[in-house]
Each structure stands twice: as C-alpha cells, then as structure tokens.
Structure 1
C-alpha cells in the first residue's frame, strides 16, 4: 500500500468546526540517511564539553551497565533520605524532655551498614574513617579457645577489660572529659577505672554538700530560701511596702533597706532596715562567750542548734535596743522581730544611710562635741541601762543630725558578765584611741575613761597589767557573789517587749 497516497482522516467535532489534521509524513522521509546526516552536521556545530564516551570509559564512573546496580544505588539514596527525615522527626518528638524515645528500629540503614554515617553514630571502637588508624583495626578479642587450646581468652582478659572500661567512662559525670577515643586504642586497667569512679563519686557528694550549704545559709549579699520566704511574708502582710536592696554587709548580718507599711493598724516608719543575721556560725564560734555567760539567756543557750543561737542573738539585740531607747540613748527603734530578722527604723534620709563616725569629716568643735556625747552615752549605757556595748568603736557609731547614734548592740552584755569589765576596758581603749588621733585634746586615756564611766576609781599605774589584773579580780568577786545569790537576780527587764514565738518552733 502506497503510504504517500494515504490522506489524513479529518474527525468531525460535535462541539464546533473540524480541527485540521497535521500534515502527513512518509516513512521514506523518516528513514532517509540523507536527513540523518543533515541532522548530525547540525549537532556538530555545538560540540559538548565532555564526551559521553570518555565519561563512561573513566575509572571513577560507576558501573551503570547493570539495572540491578542502578536500582540498588537509588534505593540506598532513598533509604538515607528516609533516615534523615526520621532523625528530624525523633528530635522534634523528644524536644527537651529528659526521657527520649528512639526511632532506631525504624531506620533503613544502620550505622554498621552505612559508611557515610554521621559522627555521633560512630562508636569509640569504630576507626574506619580515622586517617591515623593502623593497617589492621583494633578489635576486641573473641572469648574462647584459639589455637587448639594453647591461647585462652576470657572476660578477664587485660585488653578486653581495658577497652570495656574505656567505653564505660561515658557514664561518668559530665565534668569528666573522657574524649571520643577515635584514633586511640584506649585501655584502662581496673585499678585506674575504679580510682576514677571513686573520685567522681566523692566529687558528686562534695558538690551536693556545697550546694546544700549554700541553700541553707546566708551568703554575702543574698539570703537563703527560708529567709526570703519570711521577707515575702512581711511584704504580703503589709508590714513592708517593698524591699529596696542591700545597704550594708558584715561578718554577722546583712542589712536591707525597705519602705514601711503598717503593723496591727499602727503605722511603721517610712524607712526601715531589715537586719538579717547570717545563718552560718563560722564567725560566731569565737563569740559564744557573749551570750552563753549572759545571765538573761543562760537557760536557753545551747550549742547543739545553730539556728536557735542565731535567733537568740537577734532577740538579744532587740532587748538591748529597748533598754537603750528607754534611757534616751540615740539608737534605732525596734519595729518587729521575726526569727532571725530584726526590723528597725532607718538612721538616714532618702535611702542614704547616715555615715559612720570613722568616715565623716567634722570640725574640731564638732569632734570635741562628739567625744563628750560618746562619754555621756557610755555612762548612760553602764549606769542606767546596766549594759556594756562590748564592741564599741568608730565603726559602730553613726553621725546623724548632729548626734552620735549607737548601732550593733547584739553582743552587748551586763556588767556582771564574767568578762563584762574586760569588754568595757576594750571599748574605752577604742574610743580613746580614735578621738586622740582626731586631735581632741580633752580625750582621756583608756584607764581614765574606764574609771569615769564605771566610777570604780581603780588606781592607775604605769603598769597596764596591774590595772587589768585588778579588773579580773573584781570580775571574779562579782561572779562568786552572783553564784551565791543565784542567777535570778539578773532577769529580763520587765519593760522589754514580749518575744514573738512561731508555732513551728
């Protein structure tokens, strides 16, 4: 049949005019060699940069002759993409949870099958990708008999135990940097491994003790959780409007500034301070004598409960301030005592505390006036309040509104204390030395100041030891007299406010 005579059949469209058919082409034109050579010449005008034949003949080219090889390569690439997606889903599912779920069983290519796996999947013994590895990789010897029973390998083999101990180091604390082990055939003996394990255990226990100590003690400029809770309760109860921050730190306490509110419908001063006694007794171990021999608190003193000693210390300062306020001595007013937190009026103005006598620069007349004020205060404290400051110095006296104010009286004791007169002589020495250095000619020496305050008229000699011996003998006579009369002759002053006792105490 002549193909050239075949005419195209035009199909009629029921929805419109007929579509003209494409022009027919004879089979001879398709198989024409002349047409093929013409097309080949046209293609040669744009030669390719790389000859496909050269690419197929190169050594690096993959073998693409087998359809099975192509299918395996495509399947491997698909499996890797699937595993990557599975890892992303695993990370998204676990998030930051401490308990994670692994999708390892759903993976298509496992680490020992995938030579291009990521670094986090490489085991510590896997040195296939290590350029510095030996010709034969180190492997764990197999257990059992080898060489017709001549060589026996058991679980106690030195090489096997060394490598297992190295792998078990991953279970140590995060602070122990063990390395990844790649490129190194690490072998730890049992002795070294046990020593490291015991060291990590001891370090964890020590860290736990340090953390617990910080949680239950008052730091330099911070407070422990229990103290913070007490402070928050004061704010919530309306006693304090807010707590502004730390204004002073010392060996025994931290002082915070706050704005007052109301207490039992009574107004609290606009500005108050919170004296928080530190709950650690590192500095108090040498200061027990200030309170254990005080006849007001001797029945309640105990060395076995440090927190109660701190509360007793705060209670003692409250009683001493109350006595001083009754005698008219310039000192802070007591607002509230809550366990080891003492709330007092603020000595200063507009969040600025009054300067210490050590820091303020006064004229000669004002310094002379300050000396006589201190002398008068010491006499009132000894004769009217029946107290000895026991830590009086220029650091515990403030200059405010032209007057000297006394602070920090938690260690103050009564004169009948076994060491009360010795404490008073030390106070007199501190006061005399300070004012003499500031050029106050009227300042007396320590012995004259002692006699002026106490009115004991102890003979003053050139030998200081004789004066001190006379004081010690006087204290001894007072102690014997107190023991004969009984300790009840020094009760808590009736004018002192009642103590606040919490139900949980």
Structure 2
C-alpha cells in the first residue's frame, strides 16, 4: 500500500544526505583566536580600493573606529604633501619656499576695518554724549532776579542749590592743568569754589613771574626783545652783516662774533668784531652785591649795566678789546684773533718755553699796575680765564665787574687777583716769581711787611689809613667825576666823550 505512494517528509525526520551544522561550544565563542579570525574575514570583505592608500588588512584590523581610520588617512595625505614640497625644492634650487601656520589662520583684514569703523562710531557717539552732558539747560531768571517754583515758594538767583550747581559748571572751565576731576552733576559750595579759583590765580601768577623785572631781565642767553631790536639797528646801519657763533659766556655778559662781509667798495675784505651783550638779569652772578655794594657809582639800578660797559672804555695803555660803539647794554668791540678764530685764554694754551711763560707773567703784572695806578680800577676777577694770549701779547678781558679803588674792599679784591695770578704761573713752574706781599707793594705803592700776614695788614690799613680824599669822593661822586674829567681834558685837550656820542 505504501509502495506506490510518496511519503511526505516529516518535520522530525531529516535526510541522511543533509549536512549537519557544526555545534559550537561556549568556550569557542569566548576564544580570542576565533574573534581575530572573524575580524580578518570581515576585513577581507571590505572595498579593495582602500589598499591604494597603503593600508594593509592588518592595519585596517587595528582600526577600532572610524576616527582612527580617518587619522591614518590624514597622516598619509600629509606625508604625500610634504614629499611634493621637497620635490619642488629640488627642482628649483634657487627658489626659496617657506611655509608655516599662516594657511591655518583666518584673515583678519576685514575685522580690522570693521573695528576702525566701530571705533569711529563710538567716538562720534561719545562726543555727542559729552556735548549733551555739558549743555545742560541753565536756570533762567527774569530781570527782577527772583521767581516762584511750582509750589509757590520764592527762589532767587542766589539760591544755595542753584549756586552750587553753577559752581560745578564754572570749575569745568578752569585751566586744564588744575586737577579738578569730573564734577558734572556734583554740587560745590561757594567756599570750595573760591578756594579753587584763588589757587588757580596764584599758580598762574607764580608761573608768569619774571625775575629781576625792575632790571628788565634778559633771558635766552641775553637775547630778549630789546636786545634783538638793538642788534637789528646795528645791522641796518652797516656796522656788521651777520651774527656768528658764541665766543664766550660769563656770569655778567655773553660775547658773540659779528661779521661784516667785504663788498669791494665800502669794505674790501671780511671784518670781524666782538659783540658784548651785558645780562640785565644777573641771576648767575650770585656774589654781585660784593662788587656793587658801597660803590658810589651804583646808585641807580637802571644805570648799573651802562656804567659797567663804560668801564671798559676807560683804559690807559692796557691791552684789551677796543670799544667801537655802545648802546644801552650792548657794546661792539674789536675782535681779538685772526681769520675769525678768537684768541685763546691762558688756561687753554700748552706752555713749553719757560722764557715765554715768564714774559707773559711780566705783561700781566704790568697790566695790573696800569689798571690800579692809571685807571684807578681793580679787576676783581683776574685769572687765567680772563686773560687772552694772541701773537705774544696779553689782553685783559671782562673788566665790566672791575671796581674803583675807592671801594672799601678794593684791596681785598686786588689781593685775590694777585693770588690767582701767582697760583697759575706757579703751576707752570715759573721761576723767580715774587711773593704776594712783594707784588702787592709793587702794584699799590704801599709798604706791607713781608714777614706778617698780608690779609691782616690790609684790614688794618682799610680801617686806619684809608685816604680821606677817597671818602670825600664817595660822599660826593659827581664832584669827583667832574674833577677827573677836567683833569683828563686838560692833559689831552680833547673831549673824551666825543667819539661815543
């Protein structure tokens, strides 16, 4: 019965020829070797185009994530880029290739332009805000000077609150160097504002104060407005054409070099002269009072400098710059030197020959004797700084502070001059120099004891044996000047003041 029929397969029956699936145990599932085998099978199933980037299946197996794979690829790209740069350098040897981090930075040019525009807009807004802040409406009062507020109270223009607000506005208009700070919106009492205003006025007066204003101080190396105007008049009259360099500066004056160019008609060759400008503000002359105090000629301070300038005109054979023209406190003198180069002072000369040194000392001694005996003057500041040496001749300069022998301390200044001269020539090793007492006696004609202290003897002489005639001359200076002038005119038969008038 069953031979002719096809028997259906049972769900529980299996063909003998059917392959049976291998049974895997739990231990095999947890095996690391089996896991690696499965990973290799998965890697072999990837796209074979990845191999062109130089990544082997082993390296791909090590990539646990997409991030690591991307890093590997990026490293290969960077390596290829650097190799291309190196090849370009080898091809073009002269070409210098530099690369850095600029390509990784964004461009900031547009940001700079934007910041400038924003800063300009901020400045404009700030100016508008400041103008609005300081342009607050002011309290206006009628001509009567009072008004009533909303509640009916009477308010005057002297109201305390209004005055305090007004004071804060006034403070903002004080000079900028007064550190008031920002007081906008603040209230200042009248007492505080008055103190600030008085301090401001005092500070301005202190800064604008001019020293020696009674004597019309000359600032900027004696070149004030009046001095420049006088020099300009000298130039227009043709005395000289150009003001050159500064020859010397002192505590009482400054000496400039003036040049008159040769024009072939009036003057055939270039001529040089010295322009001496007396300082009207003698702030550098600290011991000025020692020279002018008790001197009968220094009565009017407006005449002090003119008298000092006129002193240099009264010489009796003493070699010194010759005065050419005098106007107020400016004097034109002859130029001591050659080819526009001023003669050197004794301190600037390198002395070698002892005979020349001793001859120079004799000339200085002769000049001191003539100044005392013939001119009735004591230099007062004679030293190697105020003696010029030109063509083997000695010239005395800076006689402007010289004093008359009637001065109570004239002999003390003479003694100081003697010590300065002897000290200078003593440093040069000059032989046969006289002592201070011997030179003092030779100049003055007195008879001081060389064995005693010369300073003490001079003090006693000034106190006990001062010439009575000199005291009378000090009491009556005009009579003395007239007597000396008449005596000099009688000897020369000429008016001595005519060349300078």
Same fold per superposition (TM over 0.5): yes
428-437 or 207-216: bigger deviation: 207-216
Alpha-carbon distance change, 200 to 212 in structure 1, aligned in 2, over 3 angstroms: farther
- Preserved contact between residue 318 and residue 342 of structure 1 (Cα < 8 Å): no
3-state SS of paired residue (1:198): helix
Q: Which residue of 1 aligns with 2:177?
A: 175
Q: CA RMSD in A?
A: 3.9
Asked if residue 491 in structure 1 is aligned to residue 485 in structure 2, the reply is yes
Q: Does 1:118 align with 2:108?
A: no
TM-score (norm 2): 0.60
CA distance in 2 between partners of 1:481 and 1:235 (Å): 44
Q: 2:452 aligns with which of 462, 478, 483?
A: 462
Aligned to 1:308: 303
SS of 1:432's equivalent in the other structure is helix
CA deviations on 1:345-367 (whole Å, 9 max, x unpaired) are 11223333222212322125133
Per-residue deviation, 1:218 = 1.4
Counterpart of 1:272?
Answer: 273
Cα deviation, 1:370-406, whole Å, max 9, x if unaligned, reads 2222122222333344433222111111122222211
Q: Shift of residue 276 of structure 1? A: 0.6
SS of equivalent to 2:349: coil
In structure 2, C-alpha distance between the alignment counterparts of 1:294 and 1:266, rounded to whole Å: 43
Match of 2:352 in 1: 363
CA deviation profile, 1:397-421 (whole Å, cap 9, x unmatched): 1122222211011233444544433
CA 1:212/1:251 → structure 2, altered by over 3 Å: closer, same or farther? closer
Report if the CA contact (8 A) 1:429-1:445 is conserved: no
Q: Which residue of 1 aligns with 2:106?
A: none
Q: Please tell me whether the aligned partners of residues 220 and 249 of structure 1 are also in contact (alpha carbons under 8 angstroms).
A: no
Q: Which residue is 2:436 aligned to?
A: 446
Q: Residue deviations 1:273-316, cap 9 Å, x none?
A: 11111122546795467567667xx4xx533xx33222222122
Q: Which ranges of structure 1 fall in alignment gaps of 5 or more residues?
A: 1-113, 127-141
Contact map agreement 2:386 2:396 (CA 8 A) in 1: yes
Task: Determine if the alignment matches structure 1 residue 437 to structure 2 residue 434.
Answer: no
Deviation at 1:220, TM superposition (A): 4.4
Contact 2:380/2:403 (CA < 8 Å) preserved in 1?
yes
Q: Secondary structure at the match of 1:358?
A: helix
Does 1:397 pair with 2:387? yes
Q: Aligned residue for 1:49?
A: none
Indicate whether 1:318 and 2:320 are aligned.
no
User: In structure 2, which of residues 145, 168, 171 is the aligned counterpart of residue 166 of structure 1?
Assistant: 168
Question: Is it true that 1:475 corresponds to 2:466 in the alignment?
Answer: yes
Asked whether the 8 Å contact 2:222–2:253 carries over to 1, the reply is no
Q: Determine if contact 2:387/2:395 at 8 Å carries over to the other structure.
A: yes
Change (3 A) 1:313 1:468: same
1:88-487 → structure 2 map (5 Å cutoff): 118-124=128-134, 144=149, 160-179=162-181, 185-210=185-210, 216-260=216-260, 270-282=271-283, 287=288, 290=291, 298=297, 301-303=298-300, 306-319=301-314, 323-324=315-316, 327=317, 329-365=318-354, 366-472=356-462, 473-477=464-468, 479-480=470-471, 487=480
Shift in CA distance, 363/211, structure 1 to aligned 2, threshold 3 Å? closer
Q: State the distance in 1 between where 2:405 and 2:450 align.
A: 20
**1: CA distance, partners of 2:188 / 2:227:** 49
Q: Could you say which residue in structure 1 is the equivalent of 2:141?
A: none
Distance, in Å, in 1 between the alignment partners of 2:365 and 2:126 is 89
Partner of 2:38: none
Counterpart CA distance in 1 for 2:484 and 2:403 is 11
Q: CA deviation at 1:194?
A: 0.8
Encode CA deviations 1:167-201: one digit per residue, 9 max, x unaligned. Answer: 112332243354555xx743322211111111122
Whole-Å separation in 1 of the counterparts to 2:427 and 2:261: 43
In structure 2, C-alpha distance between the alignment counterparts of 1:216 and 1:411, rounded to whole Å: 19
| Greater gyration radius | 2
Distance 1:252 1:172, change over 3 A: same
The alignment covers a number of residue pairs equal to 354
CA–CA distance in structure 1, aligned partners of residues 269 and 206 of structure 2: 45
Counterparts in 2 of 1:122 and 1:432: CA distance versus 1, 3 Å: same
Of 281-290 and 465-474, more deviation after overlay is shown by 281-290
* Alpha-carbon separation, structure 2, partners of 1:164 and 1:237: 60
